[in-house]
């Protein structure tokens, strides 16, 4: 078993395919060195800028010779498969024989960079080989630099570099998903459609399997002591020291006593250990005689039904969900573990995409309330000042205290609030996030079994992307996204608005970037057009990356606020219409079907 919460090596690699004009007697010979140099430069670019989930640089593989025809294409592709190259980028500075040199693997994400130079027609090859990909139903991304370069220019222009990195980032996400598991702990929570786990979606679109475990398995393991007792002692001591309780919001006559609250904390810690072990496994369980339980379910993400069968009886899952989703726990800093509230598997899948692209913790939230300036003024007697990012309205994102503590915004980058990949997080970051969080006893009206909910307010000024995968009958999965920012509200406004929901839950005040059209005509329209009650929140504006990843997975994007120049999809999409990119996206995904059909 790998360390809990980490993806597992050996990691998939990026294969760089140097493609050359196969004609001998001076043609190929004059191009071979230049082509291999182009491939090597691409590999350096990727390895210098992208990392695996454990923080190590992404590895690329470049063959020792070029591909000039079918025999070499076959040999290189077999070699790349042996080298675990799950993503391919073909590069060339010249004309080549398209259908003879292309990557024919039906599921491997693929892109082609055709050098934009007039001495040799690399861009002509790019157009020819993309046409071949489209004709054969093997979509590929085309990388074509805006400006003409000289033949001896070995640099990679910024626009080309951006696309190569964006493609490699998304392609590796596809590879990291394949063959892994979504673990469904329990069933459907309160009739929420996202927790009706669709095995076909995970299998056909993500290449994952689904494993289902009843929530009684957590009770069995707690009662029979099937967890690491030494770690439990350390975890409980850490929680008692660092998870500061907040005020009890329940009426005094029904509040739980100190002994019961202490017992609830013990249960919450056991739940966290057991949920992690169910996902990842734990070799220490084998030492205790539980070899089957030690194996885990190889789960990349999981969801916990909780409500209501569990939470009417036992402490809620908020502590477990918040700590697993965070980038740290009693063992120190680690990669976050994607764990969905209410077993909303579609939100878990969306969180997983964001995590694979950014390697940061993801936030699970309700898309709770749109506050217009007029409504805000009516209940608080105040309005946000002119120039405030939220002056046209804000969206209150919140959920029972299950959000990753990274979302406090207390971790800083260049002095500004941020959420960072775990390899950038230090002890000061962890201490700041914990200090900004209070753990309130759960409202017993919601959670009759007790428990604790984390409470904090996300710092304003963070660039965020909220997104969501939904399933539509007759269509399949669709993705929506909204780039925007967290904002700070003046205390006299925040306090009034926050108390109108559950005052023991985390709050993220979100303002989307508006376009003035359609679903982004105003802030209200974003809320009104959101397709479900939940969303996943990623740090950073990652919409362009999500669009590329969605195209690779054949999931159309039905709502976004990206400028047209940031939309990039495989060449096939443009053959289905350029005036209506959103419609072409739906047509292409329907035509091709799921990636793993």
Strand 209-213 and strand 181-185: pairing?
parallel
φ, ψ at 237 (rounded to 5°): -65, -40
pLDDT of residue 8: 67
Query: CA–CA separation, 137 vs 12, rounded Å?
Result: 24
pLDDT of residue 97: 94
Each of the 597 residues of the chain gets a pLDDT tens digit; together they read 334 344 567 999 999 999 999 999 999 999 999 999 999 999 999 999 999 999 999 999 999 999 999 999 999 999 999 999 999 999 999 999 999 999 999 999 999 999 998 788 889 999 999 999 999 999 999 999 999 999 899 999 999 999 999 999 999 999 999 999 999 999 999 999 999 999 999 999 999 999 999 999 999 999 999 999 999 999 999 999 999 999 999 999 999 999 999 999 999 999 999 999 999 999 999 999 999 999 999 999 999 999 999 999 999 999 999 999 999 999 999 999 999 999 999 999 999 999 999 999 999 999 999 999 999 999 999 999 999 999 999 999 999 888 999 999 999 999 999 999 999 999 999 999 999 999 999 999 999 999 999 999 999 999 999 999 999 999 999 999 999 999 999 999 999 999 998 889 999 999 999 999 999 999 999 999 999 999 999 999 999 999 999 999 999 999 999 999 999 999 999 999 999 999 999 999 999 999 998
Query: CA–CA separation, 84 vs 9, rounded Å?
Result: 11
Closest CA to 316 of 403, 401, 214: 401
Burial of residue 575 (number of CB atoms within 10 Å: 0-12, 13-18, 19+): middle
Task: Using alpha carbons only, give the angle 407, 413, 415 rounded to the nearest 5 degrees.
Answer: 105
- The 85-92 sheet, strands edge to edge: 60-61, 13-18, 85-92, 110-114, 141-143
> Which pair of tokens denotes residue 240?
């008692």
Q: How many helices (H) and strands (E) does the chain have?
A: 20, 22
Query: CA–CA separation, 380 vs 503, rounded Å?
Result: 16
Residue 59 in contact with residue 178, Cβ under 8 Å?
A: no
| Beta bridge mates, 85 | 13
Cis peptide before 10 (omega within 30 of 0): yes
Q: Annotated catalytic residue: which of 21, 321, 366, 502?
A: 366
- Concatenated DSSP letters of 202-242: IIIII--EEEEE-THHHHHHHHTT-S-HHHHHHHHHHHHHH
Residue 305 in contact with residue 187, Cβ under 8 Å?
A: yes
Query: CA–CA separation, 568 vs 571, rounded Å?
Result: 9
DSSP letter assigned to residue 118: S
Question: Tokens 């994007």 belong to which residue?
Answer: 557
pLDDT of residue 118: 79
φ, ψ at 571 (rounded to 5°): -55, -35
The answer to whether residue 366 is catalytic is yes
Question: Cβ contacts of residue 155 below 8 Å, gap of 6+?
Answer: 41, 149
Query: CA–CA separation, 430 vs 377, rounded Å?
Result: 37
Cis peptide before 32 (omega within 30 of 0): no
Helix (H) or strand (E) holding 452: strand 452-455
Task: Using alpha carbons only, give the angle 552, 361, 496 rounded to the nearest 5 degrees.
Answer: 120
pLDDT of residue 7: 54
Burial of residue 1 (number of CB atoms within 10 Å: 0-12, 13-18, 19+): middle
Query: CA–CA separation, 454 vs 363, rounded Å?
Result: 13
Please compute Rg for the chain using Cα positions: 25
- Concatenated DSSP letters of 162-210: HHHHHHHHHHHHHHHHTT-EEEEESS-STT-GGGS--HHHIIIII--EE
End-to-end CA distance of the chain: 30
What is the number of other CB atoms lying within 10 angstroms of the CB of residue 69?
14
> Which alpha helices (DSSP H) does 50-117 contain, by range?
70-82, 98-101
- Concatenated DSSP letters of 307-345: TTTTTTTS--SHHHHHHHHSSEETTEE----EEEETT-H
> Which pair of tokens denotes residue 85?
């190259």
pLDDT of residue 9: 77
Q: Annotated catalytic residue: which of 21, 321, 342, 545?
A: 342
Question: Tokens 């690399």 belong to which residue?
Answer: 122
The answer to whether residue 495 is catalytic is no
Whole-structure pTM value? 0.96
> Which pair of tokens denotes residue 431?
């201490």
Query: CA–CA separation, 234 vs 240, rounded Å?
Result: 10
Query: CA–CA separation, 94 vs 251, rounded Å?
Result: 76
């Amino acid at each position: 078993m790998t360390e809990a919460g980490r993806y597992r090596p050996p990691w998939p690699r990026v294969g760089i395919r140097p493609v050359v004009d196969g004609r001998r007697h001076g043609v190929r010979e004059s191009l071979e060195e230049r082509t291999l140099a182009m491939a090597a430069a691409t590999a350096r670019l990727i390895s210098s800028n992208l990392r695996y989930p454990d923080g190590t640089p992404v590895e690329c593989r470049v063959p020792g010779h070029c591909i000039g025809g079918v025999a070499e294409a076959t040999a290189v592709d077999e070699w790349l498969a042996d080298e675990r190259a799950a993503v391919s980028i073909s590069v060339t500075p010249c004309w080549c024989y398209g259908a003879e040199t292309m990557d024919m693997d039906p599921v491997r994400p693929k892109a082609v960079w055709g050098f934009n130079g007039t001495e040799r027609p690399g861009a002509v090859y790019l157009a020819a080989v993309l046409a071949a990909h489209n004709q054969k139903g093997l979509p590929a991304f085309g990388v074509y630099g805006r400006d003409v370069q000289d033949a001896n220019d070995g640099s990679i222009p910024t626009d080309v570099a951006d696309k190569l990195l964006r493609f490699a980032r998304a392609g590796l996400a596809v590879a990291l998903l394949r063959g892994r598991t979504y673990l469904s702990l329990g069933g459907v929570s309160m009739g929420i459609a996202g927790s009706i786990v669709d095995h076909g979606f995970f299998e056909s679109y993500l290449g994952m399997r689904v494993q289902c475990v009843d929530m009684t398995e957590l009770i069995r393991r707690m009662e029979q002591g099937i967890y690491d007792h030494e770690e439990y002692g350390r975890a409980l001591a850490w929680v008692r020291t660092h998870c500061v309780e907040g005020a009890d919001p329940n009426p005094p006559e029904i509040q739980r006593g100190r002994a019961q609250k202490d017992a609830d904390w013990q249960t919450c810690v056991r739940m966290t250990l057991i949920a992690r072990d169910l996902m990842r496994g734990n070799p220490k369980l084998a030492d205790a005689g539980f070899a089957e339980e030690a194996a885990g379910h190889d789960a990349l993400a999981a969801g916990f039904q909780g409500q209501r069968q569990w939470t009417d009886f036992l402490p809620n899952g908020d502590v477990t969900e918040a700590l697993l989703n965070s980038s740290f726990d009693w063992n120190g800093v680690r990669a976050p573990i994607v764990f969905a509230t209410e077993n909303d598997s579609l939100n878990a899948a969306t969180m997983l995409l964001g995590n694979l692209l950014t390697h940061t913790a993801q936030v699970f939230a309700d898309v709770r309330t749109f506050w217009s300036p007029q409504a805000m003024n009516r209940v608080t007697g105040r309005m946000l000042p002119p120039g405030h990012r939220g002056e046209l309205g804000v969206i209150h994102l919140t959920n029972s205290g299950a959000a990753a503590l990274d979302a406090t915004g207390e971790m800083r980058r260049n002095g500004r609030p941020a959420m960072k990949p775990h390899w950038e997080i230090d002890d000061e970051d962890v201490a700041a996030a914990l200090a900004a969080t209070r753990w309130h006893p759960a409202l017993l009206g919601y959670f009759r079994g007790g428990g604790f909910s984390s409470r904090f307010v996300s710092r304003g000024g963070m660039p965020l992307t909220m997104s969501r995968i939904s399933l539509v009958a007759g269509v399949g999965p669709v993705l929506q996204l909204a780039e925007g920012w967290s904002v700070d509200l003046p205390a006299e406004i925040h306090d009034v608005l926050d108390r109108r929901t559950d005052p023991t839950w985390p709050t993220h005040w979100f303002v989307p970037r508006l376009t003035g059209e359609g679903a982004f005509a105003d802030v209200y329209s974003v809320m009104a057009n959101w397709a479900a009650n939940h969303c996943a929140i990623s740090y950073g504006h990652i919409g362009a990356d999500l669009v590329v990843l969605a195209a690779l997975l054949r999931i159309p994007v039905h709502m976004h606020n990206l400028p047209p120049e940031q939309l990039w999809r495989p060449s096939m999409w443009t053959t289905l219409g350029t005036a209506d990119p959103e419609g072409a996206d739906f047509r292409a995904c329907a035509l091709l079907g799921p990636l793993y059909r």
